[in-house]
């Protein structure tokens, strides 16, 4: 930085000191004891990438039931015929709440892909590196984001064929991925 630049800069304004500072002002927040998490403590739900799937937790439990049966599905509005991804409980087009479940094609092509090399979601750190991408489903206007398995991320290309597959998380929940051909 040149001397001329330094001269043109104005100093950062500061707040004036208080007129009568209190010498024994209490701290704004009481100090707390440092707590260490229990070694086997379950992660809080909000940090968990996979949702709770039962009907007591979500009105979209049918999506997870269909995944368990090997079917990728979503909702379609009965009133306006709009197909939604992800599945919804109300149509974002016409705001109708009469939706039906429809199966989606299991195959598709990679529209775009990338690698997760660091900063994986909680619980997926041991999977690094892995590939994610957008998949155009065959015969559908939907483009779905998901993890892509079956090939190293460095070998995946736009236009590669993939196929939907359900997988279990190890605690009874199920989700979907795509497998490269």
Residue 26 has pLDDT above 80, yes or no: no
Pairing label, strands 174-180, 143-149: parallel
pLDDT digits (tens, 9 = 90+) for 65-87: 999 999 999 999 999 999 999 99
> Tokens representing 69?
């049966």
pLDDT digits (tens, 9 = 90+) for 110-144: 999 999 999 888 778 889 999 999 999 999 999 99
Tell me if residue 178 falls in helix, strand or coil.
strand
The CATH number linked to 153 is 2.40.50
Cα separation, 48 vs 81, whole angstroms: 33
Cα separation, 44 vs 77, whole angstroms: 34
Range of the domain at 58: 53-104
11 CB-contact burial (10 Å; exposed 0-12 / middle 13-18 / buried 19+): exposed
Question: What number of residues does the chain have?
Answer: 181
Residue 141 lies in a domain: yes
Residues 69 and 91 in one domain: yes
- For the entire predicted model, the pTM comes to 0.71
Give the pLDDT score at 125.
85
CB atoms within 10 A of CB 82: 15
Q: How far is it between the farthest Cα atoms of the chain?
A: 74
Residues 67 and 89 in one domain: yes
Residues 175 and 118 in one domain: yes
> Tokens representing 155?
């070998």
Pairing label, strands 174-180, 161-168: antiparallel
């Amino acid at each position: 930085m040149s001397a001329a630049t330094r001269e043109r800069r104005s100093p950062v304004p500061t707040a004036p000191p208080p007129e009568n500072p209190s010498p024994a002002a209490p701290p704004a927040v009481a100090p707390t004891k440092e707590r260490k998490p229990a070694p086997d403590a379950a992660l809080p739900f909000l940090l968990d990438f996979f949702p709770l799937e039962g009907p007591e937790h979500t009105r979209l439990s049918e999506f997870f039931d269909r995944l368990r049966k090997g079917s990728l599905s979503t909702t379609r509005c009965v009133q306006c015929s709009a197909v939604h991804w992800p599945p919804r409980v109300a149509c974002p087009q016409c705001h109708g709440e009469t939706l039906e479940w429809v199966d989606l094609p299991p195959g598709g092509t990679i529209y775009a892909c990338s690698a997760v090399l660091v900063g994986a979601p909680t619980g997926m750190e041991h999977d690094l590196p892995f590939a994610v991408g957008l998949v155009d489903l065959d015969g559908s206007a939907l483009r779905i984001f998901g993890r892509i398995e079956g090939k190293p991320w460095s070998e995946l290309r736009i236009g590669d064929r993939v196929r939907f597959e359900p997988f279990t998380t190890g605690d009874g929940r199920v989700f979907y991925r795509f497998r490269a051909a």
